[in-house]
Structure 1
Amino acid sequence: MKRKQKRFLQMTLLFTAALIFVPDIGLWSLYKEKHLVKPPEAAEPQTLPLGLGDGQLFTWTDGLKRKDWHDYESIQKDAMRSGKGEHGKPYPLTEEDHDDSAYRENGFNIFVSNNIALERSLPDIRHPNCKHKVYLEALPNTSIIIPFHNEGWTSLLRTIHSIINRTPDSLIAEIILVDDFSDREHLKEKLEEYMVRFAKVRIVRTKKREGLIRTRLLGASLARGEVLTFLDSHCEVNVNWLPPLLNQIALNHKTIVCPMIDVIDHNHFGYEAQAGDAMRGAFDWEMYYKRIPIPPELQRADPSDPFESPVMAGGLFAVNRKWFWELGGYDPGLEIWGGEQYEISFKVWMCGGGMYDVPCSRVGHIYRKYVPYKVPSGTSLARNLKRVAETWMDEFAEYIYQRRPEYRHLSTGDISAQKELRKHLKCKDFKWFMAAVAWDVPKYYPPVEPPPAAWGEIRNVAANLCVDSKHGATGTELRLDICVKDGSERTWSHEQLFTFGWREDIRPGEPLHTRKFCFDAISHSSPVTLYDCHGMKGNQHWSYRKVRVTVGHLGGSNHLEPVFSLAQACAFPSKQFCFKIHHILFQFNFVVISVNIFLFLLSIQIFRSNLNENGSDPAQRVSVLDLFPERCFTILALQDACVILTEALLEIFSSNVTAARHAAHELNVLYYILKIISGRKISLKKPKQTNKRNTPKKNKNQPNIKSIAVSPKEAGVYELKISSLDTTLIC
């Protein structure tokens, strides 16, 4: 056997042996695993690997033990649920389900609430980093305080069930339901019987209508937990919501913490994050709550870490119980509701504490369609706001009075106790608060606002109608109406004055008395509606440009005069309508080119015909432009068509948008034909000197055309006047 054959045989045997006996790869290992090794006993299905492990302890560099507080068994059960409304999906609604009776008692669709599970699952929309965070093992327990007044049955029970199912039992000291003098039967004995199943739930009732602020104070005064956690009665807490809040308080007891408040839709109960999600709480100088972006200076390397916020949204927060009472709790002089979120926010910052929003804690909240119950007479949100301003805002209160002069004459009641508390706690002044805490608020809501760019009516020149918001609220679609200046009846129903402000949004009203609604459009083809102003531009960002549209009628002068001028977006009875000159030119450029080619070929043909008629005598030859006066019927026909199309365009402008657009296109094409035939530049605004590049070279025997104009003489008859330097031809 040759040497090469021996080596080939050796290599083949070695490869075969490796294929059979190499561990974990060879055929022998597969046979052994299948037949000789006993399989393990069937085990329970493994939970999803969502975090570091249920209950594992970790020791940090600061020596404090930390723990993964996720309840993976509960997370697994929620993931397996199915049904209408599960995982926070919108409940499918029919037209009948939108009946007003479903909203009348609660301000949200109680029909949907009654038809989705009390323990429904929610989507985990936290930042991914939250799933791997660990918190202190030794967290303080909390009393969860939930005030309610005539709350819906299922919305209240769903709040309780979500807390029980998604909160570690060891962290709940108690759940206190504070009934603010409800008169609905299901909130009396029936509620008592239902809550017996929950050992840590107790119900406290007021003897008269106290309002939200004093009801919270009553619950806080009865609480035994180390931390007070305030929630509303129509909430759903999300995965692992409580440990991130308590952890921040455990690290600094002079801290107020707020969860991210997600939106539960009042129609279909779909669950989603607020627009912009993590943003700082702020206010304008009429004391409306606002949200502003987190400035780069405060952005963390980990977006899921807590961040400072100047003011809270309102009813959802946690605070150390002892620290809350050191601050004096809520001002007991505040009536029913309103202003309390500013009072507690200013107080905690100015008196040595801090406030943070915690992205890893998420709580869904139903924002009502409207307030379904009556507020007792004699109460006033304005009075509450003035009381807060006079106690805490020092000289900055003047900016509020400038915008709300009616506040100056309101009585705040006795605020001497609040002034004394501020002095006792050695609180800083409001100027410090604006400089150190809310330093970015004036960027969006300056105390002294720059003057508006413009204000007045918005008139559509073509239809000679004005935009009218009719004093509408959120969702109102803008319409055109007869302008008040033109003699329309001056009634309260008309609202035709608008302000284009420094934020580049448009608001109803004069500059000093604008309303809190802005022109809003979700796309270039959608209707323009009123929506709550947010100051973040986006759908409410408008720009002003003078646009002269290339559609006109031919007047007595030698140039086209514009018949209408539109802003970037105009409100029509049914649709937005906007013409842009560059859009028309781009779309019909090929038509103009075709006309140019046609006229060039026609000119050659006419020139050849003239050449044949006059022979070789140069003196008898004329240019193409000299021949056109003899064929004035051609120009007359084109200009006549221009006039007819212009009149048709004006007639259909407000009723048929598509037809108007096509008419405008045709008119522009005819305009360019006239421009080419006349051999000179036609101005849209005023006559200009002849463009020498487009003017034929002068010839001693050739008259120079000076102007072309058409004017109506009688019905169906037009006079065409073509003037040259030495003669005038009238057809």
Structure 2
Amino acid sequence: MRYRRERYYKAQLRQPNGKPGELGEPVYLNEEEQTKADSLFSKETFNVIVSNKIAMDRTLRDARPNECKSQTYPTKLPNASVVIVFCNEAPSALLRTVHSVVNRSPPNYLHEVILVDDASERPEVGPELDEYVSRVWPDGLVKIIRSKERLGLIRGKMKGARAATGDVLIFLDAHCEATFMWIEPILTRISQDRTIVICPMIDSISDKTLQYFYGGGVAVGGFTWSLHFTWRGVPEREMKTRKSSADPVRSPTMAGGLFAVDRSYFFELGGYDPGMDVWGGENLEISFRTWMCGGSLEFLPCSRVGHIFRAAHPYSFLQKDTHGLNSKRLAEVWMDDYKRLYYIHRSDLMDKDAGDYSDRVQLRKRLNCKSFKWYLDNVYPEKFILDEGVRAYGMVQNPATGLCLDTLGKDEKSQFNLGVFSCQGGKSSSEVFSYTKTNELRREDLCVDAIGRADVSVTLTFCHGHKGNQEWIYDKATKQIKHYTLTVCLDARDLKNSDTVKLQQCDDSSITQKWTLEKELDMN
């Protein structure tokens, strides 16, 4: 332990040395280096040439908000096992993650770091990694567990959790950087209530320059009815309960890559669903289960961990839709009748085999968990339910052209043009819309919006609830969708697949202005 303390305090005193990337600054390459980096980007999914230039133990600024800097923590806290699963990860990114955890965690709080190698084929993370770890951490603080067969992220995490012996489990992705005093808030909160699952606030590290972006705002997790995780703003009701920006923030869901939980509570709660494959859906499953079975989920603004957000995964999945089938399991076990909303988006999975989940049904009964309606009413009351309290939902079809309103697979985190595509007969979640009783034509968080002039593109943007540009009238007699403020209508004239839908002057005789709403409920 003395050896660890000496290394820890030495790391705290280390000053920037003028080398690339110190203090989280961006690193730029010359033309030759950039060409090489570009050629490797599809394989690594981030700039590995930049990563290799940066010190494993690079310095970072204090990433905490100012109000966190006056926080004090108990001297006696539980210790933690940090579990990191990797598969063919670039060594510099993996080892920078480990160095940041070791260097910025007081020795009495860090019990061990467990690296789970999920059958990597990359030679640099084989014997070379073993040699590096034994040389840099000869006291056994960092351990490597290797799987000879591919487990996937979910089972890999379970393998690491079963091997861990610390009081608290902290799961991290293999391309992170822990910052100053990141672990103390986590351990303090769990020591106060062992049923709280904790997430650090996740700061972004550029996949191009590895710049650490400080000062990220506070956000919480949500989800779509196709069961994908989303980031969302902190709801007003939650803001009212907080006295300081340093206070924890309750969240309906978590992203799943970075979180902490009391180790014994993790297993009491059922760990991960062993029937889930590789990756996908496990984060929402454990989020729903935590809230419904007596626990809670919080983000901690005073615990900051940087994460390289990558557009793709540098490893292959099984040749099947693991996210879809995993999500079907969680829908069947945890969502009660609301699973219908998942199947509206994924009707192709209704008859697919997602394995035996009877043991998870029994787990829910044994833990005496609440209903999914309770979860929606009490944890996520802001969630828009696309077939409740609406006039109609489903496909918005233009019979004359065979086209439907379609998001065209665009990222629904920001505004984009609304398109059209051949109607998929309920097989595409991109064509699911709702027409609300407040005259919004919306997805979940996004509403159809236009400035109300002819020949103007129509967009999807975040719903504001103030009508105006987002108010539409469906005329049952003419089957036109009219912009409320001006006499312009949605028109599919001369459009083909993937075109942007336009507004045109309303013409009752125009067949390309006639639309049908798939499932009408209350059109009065």
TM-score (ref. length: structure 2): 0.74
Partners of 2:148 and 2:261 lie apart in 1 by 27
Correspondence for 1:335: 277
Partners of 2:30 and 2:391 lie apart in 1 by 48
Are the aligned partners of 2:407 and 2:419 in contact in 1 as well (CA < 8 Å)?
no
Partners of 1:434 and 1:138 lie apart in 2 by 37
**Percent identical residues:** 38
Residue 317 (structure 2) pairs with residue 357 (structure 1):
no
Q: Could you report, residue by residue, the CA deviation over 1:591-645 in whole angstroms, capped at 9, with x for unpaired residues?
A: xxxxxxxxxxxxxxxxxxxxxxxxxxxxxxxxxxxxxxxxxxxxxxxxxxxxxxx
Are the aligned partners of 1:225 and 1:321 in contact in 2 as well (CA < 8 Å)?
yes
Residue 339 (structure 2) pairs with residue 397 (structure 1):
yes
Following superposition, the deviation at residue 407 of structure 1 comes to 1.8
Correspondence for 2:262: 320
Correspondence for 1:84: 20
Question: Which of 190, 193, 200 is equivalent to 2:131?
Answer: 193
Q: CA, structure 1 residues 431+202, in 2 after alignment: closer, same or farther (shift >3 Å)? A: same
Residue 195 (structure 2) pairs with residue 284 (structure 1):
no
Residue 484 (structure 2) pairs with residue 543 (structure 1):
no
Partners of 1:145 and 1:151 lie apart in 2 by 15
Q: CA, structure 1 residues 136+450, in 2 after alignment: closer, same or farther (shift >3 Å)? A: farther
Q: 1 or 2, which has the higher strand percentage?
A: 2
What are the equivalent positions in structure 2 for 1:374-385 lying under 5 Å apart? Answer: 374-378=316-320, 380-385=322-327
Correspondence for 1:244: 185
Give the unaligned 5+ runs of structure 1.
1-70, 458-468, 475-500, 517-532, 548-564, 570-731
Following superposition, the deviation at residue 536 of structure 1 comes to 7.2
Q: CA, structure 1 residues 248+544, in 2 after alignment: closer, same or farther (shift >3 Å)? A: same
Residue 164 (structure 2) pairs with residue 223 (structure 1):
yes
Q: Could you report, residue by residue, the CA deviation over 1:501-550 in whole angstroms, capped at 9, with x for unpaired residues?
A: 9x98633345974649xxxxxxxxxxxxxxxx99479xxx9533125xxx
Following superposition, the deviation at residue 383 of structure 1 comes to 0.7
Partners of 1:414 and 1:268 lie apart in 2 by 45
Amino acid aligned to 1:396 = Y
Question: Which of 152, 172, 176 is equivalent to 1:211?
Answer: 152
Correspondence for 1:123: 61
Are the aligned partners of 1:508 and 1:514 in contact in 2 as well (CA < 8 Å)?
no
Correspondence for 1:506: 417
Amino acid aligned to 2:417 = I
Partners of 1:471 and 1:436 lie apart in 2 by 33
Correspondence for 2:114: 176
Q: CA, structure 1 residues 191+448, in 2 after alignment: closer, same or farther (shift >3 Å)? A: farther
What are the equivalent positions in structure 2 for 1:53-132 lying under 5 Å apart? Answer: 74=11, 77-78=14-15, 80-96=16-32, 97=34, 99-132=37-70
Are the aligned partners of 1:235 and 1:364 in contact in 2 as well (CA < 8 Å)?
yes
Partners of 2:289 and 2:410 lie apart in 1 by 34
TM-score (ref. length: structure 1): 0.54
Partners of 2:377 and 2:360 lie apart in 1 by 23
Q: Could you report, residue by residue, the CA deviation over 1:252-280 in whole angstroms, capped at 9, with x for unpaired residues?
A: 011100001111111111111597x2112
Q: Where has structure 1 moved over 4 Å in runs of 4 or more?
A: 71-76, 445-452, 454-457, 469-474, 510-514, 533-537, 565-569
Partners of 1:278 and 1:439 lie apart in 2 by 19
Are the aligned partners of 1:260 and 1:361 in contact in 2 as well (CA < 8 Å)?
yes
**Matched position secondary structure for 1:204:** strand
Amino acid aligned to 2:238 = L
Are the aligned partners of 1:87 and 1:120 in contact in 2 as well (CA < 8 Å)?
yes
Correspondence for 1:267: 208
Partners of 1:448 and 1:183 lie apart in 2 by 52
Following superposition, the deviation at residue 304 of structure 1 comes to 1.5
Q: CA, structure 1 residues 286+86, in 2 after alignment: closer, same or farther (shift >3 Å)? A: same
Partners of 1:446 and 1:72 lie apart in 2 by 57
Q: CA, structure 1 residues 456+247, in 2 after alignment: closer, same or farther (shift >3 Å)? A: same
What are the equivalent positions in structure 2 for 1:608-687 lying under 5 Å apart? Answer: none
Partners of 1:148 and 1:106 lie apart in 2 by 13
Using CA pairs below 8 Å that are at least 6 residues apart, which structure has the higher relative contact order? 2
Partners of 1:231 and 1:339 lie apart in 2 by 17
Partners of 1:376 and 1:504 lie apart in 2 by 33
Are the aligned partners of 2:63 and 2:180 in contact in 1 as well (CA < 8 Å)?
no
Partners of 1:77 and 1:446 lie apart in 2 by 57
Are the aligned partners of 1:285 and 1:447 in contact in 2 as well (CA < 8 Å)?
no
Give the unaligned 5+ runs of structure 2.
1-7, 399-405, 432-442, 460-524
Amino acid aligned to 2:128 = K
Are the aligned partners of 1:143 and 1:224 in contact in 2 as well (CA < 8 Å)?
yes
Q: Could you report, residue by residue, the CA deviation over 1:674-727 in whole angstroms, capped at 9, with x for unpaired residues?
A: xxxxxxxxxxxxxxxxxxxxxxxxxxxxxxxxxxxxxxxxxxxxxxxxxxxxxx
Q: CA, structure 1 residues 188+409, in 2 after alignment: closer, same or farther (shift >3 Å)? A: same
Following superposition, the deviation at residue 240 of structure 1 comes to 0.6
Partners of 2:85 and 2:214 lie apart in 1 by 24
Q: Report the number of matched residues.
A: 426
**Matched position secondary structure for 2:418:** strand
Are the aligned partners of 1:181 and 1:205 in contact in 2 as well (CA < 8 Å)?
yes
Partners of 1:151 and 1:450 lie apart in 2 by 49
Are the aligned partners of 1:141 and 1:226 in contact in 2 as well (CA < 8 Å)?
yes
Q: CA, structure 1 residues 150+325, in 2 after alignment: closer, same or farther (shift >3 Å)? A: same
Partners of 2:204 and 2:156 lie apart in 1 by 24
Q: CA, structure 1 residues 447+167, in 2 after alignment: closer, same or farther (shift >3 Å)? A: farther
Are the aligned partners of 2:88 and 2:314 in contact in 1 as well (CA < 8 Å)?
no
Q: Could you report, residue by residue, the CA deviation over 1:374-395 in whole angstroms, capped at 9, with x for unpaired residues?
A: 1123462211000010010100
RMSD over aligned Cα atoms: 3.3
Correspondence for 1:427: 369
What are the equivalent positions in structure 2 for 1:720-731 lying under 5 Å apart? Answer: none
Q: CA, structure 1 residues 290+567, in 2 after alignment: closer, same or farther (shift >3 Å)? A: closer
Amino acid aligned to 2:70 = H
Partners of 1:126 and 1:446 lie apart in 2 by 41
Correspondence for 2:384: 442
